[in-house]
Structure 1
Amino acid sequence: MGAAAKDQVILAIDQGTTNTKALLVRADGRVVGTGAAPVGVSSPRPGWVEQDPERIWVSVVEAVTACRRGAPDADLAGIALSTQRESVVGWRASTGGALGPVIGWQDRRTAGWCADGVDAQARHLVRARTGLRVDPMFSAPKMRWLLDHRPAGVPIEDVRLGTIDSWLLWRLTGGAAHLCEAGNASRTLLYDIASLDWDGDLLDIFGVPRGALPRAVASDARFGAVAGVPAVPDGTPILAVLADSHAALYGHGCTTAGTAKATYGTGSSVMAPLDALSTTESSVPTTLAWVAGGSPTYALEGNILSSGAALAWAADILTGGSVADLVDLAETVPDSAGVTLVPAFAGLGAPHWDRQTQALLSGMGEGTQRAHIARAAVDCVAHQICDIVDVIEDRAGRLRVFRADGGATASALVVQTQADMLGREVRVGEVAEVSALGAARLAWASLGRSDSWPSHDGGASYHPKLDETDRRSRRSRWAGEVSRTRYRPA
């Protein structure tokens, strides 16, 4: 190819829970432009988590504009999207106006219905066809809630529902595309991951009309062309879409069994590819990672509700809200001196799946210092990851590669603690925006131009320093405290 082709870039947009990032990525993986914009999160009632869908869209425009400003002459080969997953948006087909707030993936307003409104037969069907269990984290209960609470006078025929990728595709294409990427669709509880389509029985269980849903397509499908977006030429093709955790897995090069990654964000995701679809019952569910090149890739994934959120909570109490200062404080002591934090502020996700439990701070005595509590907050992030890895390895065998990404991996203490608790090497990606890079890599692959993508052996490597006896003791104490939070007296 000529020089002009080599200078082409993919505009990768990573829309996350608290911010939107945009990167310009060449075919060799080099990042030549970046931009970012914040996104607010609100909690109007206990257990409710909402966002403004218009603000999410504006954050995309702002991040893209800032990114393009740094490289205005870059030739866009196309766009790639990485998005937060189970969050749900509803809007009107006739006007494009949102029906209400985004209901966030952390939201648990539907916990009561999920616990009592679905019978055992329906739960079994959901798990068998989606790989997931009925839980308020996933999209279908939120969709049902939005339908039940849509503004008066809005006919069901005018309602469109989707995850964040669907909302952004609708806006990027000027309303021309009502689509959902397969990996995002697999997180809704409405999508059969074997047949790769919406499932009529599941739609009936949750009362979601098929006509309101987008068409679910492969991760490297053509998703339409940009229309009317500032800083992006009309007609720019949208080449690839991935859910953020799935994009990080792809970006790390963890595409085969025996490899895994953990993404550290507000919550955390631990994901490990499988050789083939498995329908075995497990506390760490099976999910569809992506559909690319005509073939699906499946994975085991456990989701943690509070990891970065646990650090932020402790920072609010101990260091005036600074997580960096919290980690510095934690580093002043060698361990937590027996203090344990179980951050079940919104209940516990995988592998415990208990939304009714509450947070616990235990093990304090007269000698407890602020630093010990800070250290317990760091420890709880690592312990939750380990809980999921234990289940994955029991089911699929030992993981030979473990990679990490996300904001908390900027802290050497956090990653070293993870290596200590796992008892194995943890390698951090060289670039923080692994989800955006994963989406960009898939976009280049769809154009047949990812052969020169760099290897995934770079980045900092952390090896365990704890001896095995100490590691087992800490893990055992953690398990005991988690059990205490889940105790239900008769």
Structure 2
Amino acid sequence: MNKKYILALDSGTTSARAVLFDKKANVMSIGQNEFTQYFPEPGWVEHDANEIYANQVGVVIQAIQKNHTKLSEIEAIGITNQRETVVIWDKRTGIPVHHAIVWQDKRTADYCEKLANDPKVIKIIKEKTGLVLDPYFSGTKIKWLLDNVKGLRNRAEKGEVLAGTIDTWLIWKLTNGKSFVTDYTNASRTLLFNIINLKWDQELLKLFDIPEKILPEVKNSSDNFGTTDIDAFKGIPIYSSIGDQQSSLFGHRSKIGELKGTYGTGAFLMLNTGEKVVRSKNGLLTTIALGLNGKVTYALEGSIYIAGNALKWIKDELHLIQEYEQIDYYLKDNYDTKGVTVVPYFVGVGSPYWNTKARGLITGITRGTNRGDIIRATAASIAFQTYDIFKAFQEDYNSKIIKMSIDGGVSKTQNLMQLQSNILEAKLYNPESSEITALGAAFLAGLKAKFWKDQAEIDKLIKFKKIYKPNAKVSESEKIIKNWKESVRLALEWNKTK
């Protein structure tokens, strides 16, 4: 019997990955390679789009060779990607006109702040896109490129260049320029796409002075995105494209009213609201979760900029730990930092406060404060930031959330996840598969390819290796949350008058 597989391309913020799945959603092989991070000025973050593409092709070859897979055994490709990061390239030569500007980049903060002085603009953006005006999203990045790369705006007006998020760039390259497309989830993160009528919005395009002709066609997340046409691997249909957080939501099989949290460099929480558009009053984003079979599913989302990066900070900059596994050692007993709190707002804060000028703080230090207190408080800051967003979800959705599925590198830190469960007073479900984000894209491609019959079949493939249940007194959680809230208040006041 011939073996058949689905290949998922997971184009992340720091690495390109390729994951080969079989019919039981088992990981057969993985290819992975990191790529360069560029920081040309404080607050600026860039990637080389050509390096991303070359790495992505390279890891596909790695994954195929590791499993001794024939190209004919790959039924379809699914793509999931870092969202909001944008690249503009020459339509004829395929050469990027500038480094890609990454979602973490803050170069348009002043522009956003100036635009935010007009309440009508804020209202239009929120109503049409479900987002807030923040440098995080793609629209202001595209505008910056058009305004700052010599001659680019003129070329854009003539239709000589193309702009897109990383999924669009990869698909265009993999199909040898035949497909210029994106999906609803990635389009919904640009500040340019109307999530109600599902079109590029003329009023928003005019606001940011971006010509529609440089933007891709928008399709369902599970759709025909073209066929690979490169020397390394030809003739494989690309049947899904979806932003990484939405892919994770689909990979978890989260139903309406259920929440997922991905703990990586940052942390992203997403709540499936079905076909209902829920407008947040508590600093969350309304976004598109999925386009499937002509129907759009919506979600509420909360974004934490610094999660795993906080642990990287105490490891690489403060040298308080040598290995990430030490985090669990310091959290092995009941959480106690003697009142020490770390607020890791290194680049401002996303949900639910949306303050680009906020900065990190360490509060409650005494002469008796030791390295263990700082380590514990830094790790716990991930759980506290999640708490702030979790409460916003409950208020916006008007319902108590009792189940949250988790994934990402930080979710492997078991004592931290137990602390998270205690603080949220909710169960956390950790799936057996460590590749949930890639699996979401694979599921969508596999459904299109009839590799899996329907969603009921893939529901049965998700199993959990651990379920965390709250085991602490509520009074204990309330005390440490009180310290956190006071510290956040101080962090939000930082630079307020500057």
Q: TM-score range by the shorter chain?
A: over 0.9
1:9-30 alpha-carbon deviations (Å, 9 max, x no partner): 1110101011111111123212
User: Residue 180 of structure 2: which of 178, 181, 199 is its match?
Assistant: 178
**1:481 equivalent in structure 2:** 487
How far apart are residue 290 of structure 1 and its match? 1.0
How far apart are residue 306 of structure 1 and its match? 0.6
1:66-104 alpha-carbon deviations (Å, 9 max, x no partner): 100012334010100010001111111011001111111
Task: Quote the Cα distance in structure 2 between the aligned partners of 1:161 and 1:440.
Answer: 25
Task: Quote the Cα distance in structure 1 between the aligned partners of 2:415 and 2:161.
Answer: 47
1:280-318 alpha-carbon deviations (Å, 9 max, x no partner): 544111100110011100000011111111111121244
In the alignment, structure 1 residue 139 sits paired with structure 2 residue 138: yes
In the alignment, structure 1 residue 243 sits paired with structure 2 residue 243: yes
**1:31 equivalent in structure 2:** 27
Is the contact made by 1:429 and 1:458 (CA closer than 8 Å) also made in structure 2? yes
1:9-56 alpha-carbon deviations (Å, 9 max, x no partner): 111010101111111112321222211111222212111111111111
User: Residue 214 of structure 2: which of 190, 212, 215 is its match?
Assistant: 212
**1:438 equivalent in structure 2:** 440
Q: Secondary structure at the match of 2:262?
A: strand
Deviates more, 1:319-328 or 1:281-290: 319-328
1:65-464 paired onto structure 2 within 5 Å: 65-74=61-70, 75-118=73-116, 119-152=118-151, 155-156=155-156, 157-230=159-232, 232=233, 234-254=234-254, 256-275=255-274, 276-319=276-319, 322-324=322-324, 326-328=326-328, 330-331=330-331, 334=334, 335-396=336-397, 397-451=399-453, 452-453=457-458, 454-464=460-470
Supply the RMSD in Å over aligned alpha carbons: 1.7
Task: Quote the Cα distance in structure 1 between the aligned partners of 2:332 and 2:68.
Answer: 46
**2:36 equivalent in structure 1:** 40
How far apart are residue 434 of structure 1 and its match? 0.7
Letter in 2 for 1:466: A
Deviates more, 1:452-461 or 1:437-446: 452-461
In the alignment, structure 1 residue 466 sits paired with structure 2 residue 464: no
Is the contact made by 1:28 and 1:450 (CA closer than 8 Å) also made in structure 2? no
Relative distance call for 1:391 and 1:172 in structure 2 (3 A) is same
Is the contact made by 1:184 and 1:243 (CA closer than 8 Å) also made in structure 2? yes
Task: Flag structure 1 segments of 5+ consecutive residues without an equivalent.
Answer: none
Is the contact made by 1:312 and 1:321 (CA closer than 8 Å) also made in structure 2? no
Task: Quote the Cα distance in structure 2 between the aligned partners of 1:321 and 1:57.
Answer: 34
Task: Quote the Cα distance in structure 2 between the aligned partners of 1:80 and 1:268.
Answer: 23
How far apart are residue 328 of structure 1 and its match? 4.8
Q: Secondary structure at the match of 2:6?
A: strand
How far apart are residue 460 of structure 1 and its match? 1.4
- When the two structures are superposed, what TM-score results if normalisation uses the length of structure 2? 0.93
How far apart are residue 478 of structure 1 and its match? 0.7
Letter in 2 for 1:85: R
How far apart are residue 362 of structure 1 and its match? 1.1
Task: Quote the Cα distance in structure 1 between the aligned partners of 2:314 and 2:485.
Answer: 21
Relative distance call for 1:38 and 1:320 in structure 2 (3 A) is farther
Task: Quote the Cα distance in structure 2 between the aligned partners of 1:243 and 1:210.
Answer: 21
Letter in 2 for 1:92: D
Deviates more, 1:377-386 or 1:67-76: 67-76
Q: Secondary structure at the match of 1:46?
A: coil
Letter in 2 for 1:10: I
How far apart are residue 456 of structure 1 and its match? 2.8
Is the contact made by 2:16 and 2:35 (CA closer than 8 Å) also made in structure 1? yes
How far apart are residue 325 of structure 1 and its match? 5.2
Relative distance call for 1:455 and 1:25 in structure 2 (3 A) is closer
Identity of aligned residues (%): 33
Q: Secondary structure at the match of 2:464?
A: coil
Task: Quote the Cα distance in structure 1 between the aligned partners of 2:190 and 2:401.
Answer: 28
Letter in 2 for 1:342: V
Relative distance call for 1:55 and 1:76 in structure 2 (3 A) is same
Task: Quote the Cα distance in structure 1 between the aligned partners of 2:329 and 2:24.
Answer: 40
1:216-249 alpha-carbon deviations (Å, 9 max, x no partner): 111111000101152x2x1210001110000000
Relative distance call for 1:180 and 1:229 in structure 2 (3 A) is farther
Is the contact made by 2:402 and 2:427 (CA closer than 8 Å) also made in structure 1? no
Is the contact made by 1:315 and 1:326 (CA closer than 8 Å) also made in structure 2? no
Deviates more, 1:162-171 or 1:462-471: 462-471
Is the contact made by 1:302 and 1:351 (CA closer than 8 Å) also made in structure 2? yes
Deviates more, 1:323-332 or 1:216-225: 323-332
Task: Quote the Cα distance in structure 2 between the aligned partners of 1:326 and 1:47.
Answer: 30
Is the contact made by 1:319 and 1:325 (CA closer than 8 Å) also made in structure 2? no
Task: Quote the Cα distance in structure 1 between the aligned partners of 2:188 and 2:309.
Answer: 25
Is the contact made by 2:239 and 2:448 (CA closer than 8 Å) also made in structure 1? yes
Task: Quote the Cα distance in structure 2 between the aligned partners of 1:333 and 1:398.
Answer: 28
Letter in 2 for 1:386: Y
How far apart are residue 321 of structure 1 and its match? 6.9
How far apart are residue 329 of structure 1 and its match? 5.5
Is the contact made by 2:47 and 2:101 (CA closer than 8 Å) also made in structure 1? yes
Task: Flag structure 2 segments of 5+ consecutive residues without an equivalent.
Answer: none
Is the contact made by 1:220 and 1:241 (CA closer than 8 Å) also made in structure 2? yes
Q: Secondary structure at the match of 2:303?
A: strand
Task: Quote the Cα distance in structure 2 between the aligned partners of 1:235 and 1:151.
Answer: 38
Deviates more, 1:29-38 or 1:151-160: 151-160
Q: Secondary structure at the match of 2:410?
A: helix
The aligned length equals 483
1:152-191 alpha-carbon deviations (Å, 9 max, x no partner): 4772221211011111111111111111111000000101
